[in-house]
Structure 1
């Protein structure tokens, strides 16, 4: 039995286990309008729904990070126990935002928030999720995507639109990779222009952005991407992955 078959079978089992446990809703729609939506995930090969712009940004982030293999939205039902004022033991069911699997980090449950919250319900929820994750040797984090640096947020939004491979990309990609390897310190504009007059540089640009978005070429992700951005043969996730792994102001845990 091949390794690829076993891996596909493993993900197939997870697809069934981690199907969405509730439908997307917008409880704050009377306060904040038009923050729910969906997009097609090239990584998951399905439509991903989100309930806030914070969720949308983080899911775009997961699409770009090559170390992320799979992510499942609203995948679990976690019981949160509490005591009533009368001392009775009760509980409610919490559905966390996303469960992420990948290379270089443990499976991680992420709760996506707009800003820090200190309510009793929030504390109880975090405690229950931490316990649930620890029992499975996973991790649990509360993340605030809007605290990502502005340039990274811009690049995530920009590159997410370049993930899907277009027709004829396969025709140009080997040559693009070869030229990047041999044209040290080349900018996006210089790389595209190097195909002229054989190919219109405007046709090459989308393929370059696609290679950046899918992690085969790297830019300085901390600077706003433009035609003067230098590209090199490294993985984009080398700069994105720390935002998944490291504690700091982006995370509570």
Structure 2
């Protein structure tokens, strides 16, 4: 449960992020925070994450500092679990402009995290706003929209027969003799990508030349 209620702010875009991973909606104070949540939601190593997670006293007479997020991870294949990450989300120009103001807060947060066996990290737009995020935003629209099962199966069977990767362009040409068919098949393909039943390099912008394959077959 967040220790601080996010106030309405007419200078930034506050709102909520619906998280299936957490089973609830989480508040965000800025769009950059929401964008980080999108990345965490799609990250298979992340178990859950909390917004406004802890209060950290740092100076007498001043209200405690509340970082933006606390990230918890799942054990890896060796049974090892990465330490939780306590984080702040800030734009780089904001960090430069208010460097002196933020310094005591961040120092206190670093100590607080270290005492609990956590990692302390500052996330900026350079970490968050990449082609990978753009792709996840696009795929998010298709995640919960369930296409016809027969269309999904047709794609999977074709990729099984190929036993490798094919471009999106080639896949649509093979499965769609008409433009109307493309309109139905494309959402099915993106749903399979969004639900990780088809793999594609999401670190690069998605195009008709993007190569698709079944997990472990690309």
Specify the TM-score bucket, using the shorter chain as the normaliser. 0.7 to 0.9
Residues 50-199 of structure 1 aligned to structure 2 (within 5 Å): 50-80=28-58, 82=59, 89-103=60-74, 104=76, 105-115=82-92, 116-117=95-96, 118-148=98-128, 150-166=130-146, 168=148, 170-173=149-152, 175-183=154-162, 184-196=164-176
2:63 partner SS: strand
Higher relative contact order (CA 8 A, sep 6+): 1
Contact 1:192 1:201 in 2 (8 A): yes
User: How many Å apart are 1:167 and its aligned residue?
Assistant: 5.3
TM-score (norm 2): 0.78
Residue 79 of structure 2 corresponds to none
CA distance in 1, matches of 2:142, 2:189: 9
Normalising by structure 1, we get a TM-score of 0.68
Give the SS at the match of 1:93. Answer: coil
Give how far 1:120 is off.
3.4
1-structure distance, mates of 2:45, 2:84: 12
Distance 1:26 1:50 in 2: 10
Following superposition, the deviation at residue 200 of structure 1 comes to 3.4
Q: Structure 2 stretches of 5 or more lacking a match?
A: 77-81
State the number of aligned residues. 205
Q: Which residue of 2 aligns with 1:25?
A: 7
Deviation at 1:99, TM superposition (A): 1.1
Shift of 1:26: 4.6
List gaps (5 residues or longer) in structure 1: 1-18, 83-88, 236-253
In 1: Cα distance, 2:56 partner to 2:157 partner: 49
Q: String of CA shifts for 1:88-116, please: whole Å, max 9, x gaps.
A: x4453122111111235321112111222
Looking at structure 2, the residues matched to 167 and 46 of structure 1 have their Cα atoms a distance apart, in angstroms, of 24
CA shift in 2, pair 1:107/1:216, >3 Å: farther
CA offset digits 1:179-222 (Å, max 9, x no partner): 3344222122433454447x934333223223322334322223
- Whether the 8 Å contact between 2:147 and 2:188 is mirrored in structure 1 is no
Q: Is the counterpart of residue 219 in structure 1 residue 203 in structure 2? A: no
- Equivalent-residue separation in structure 1 for 2:34 and 2:129 (angstroms): 16
Q: 1:231 to 1:132 in 2, by over 3 A?
A: same
Report deviation, 1:145: 2.9
Give the whole-Å Cα distance in 1 for the aligned partners of 2:54 and 2:135: 30
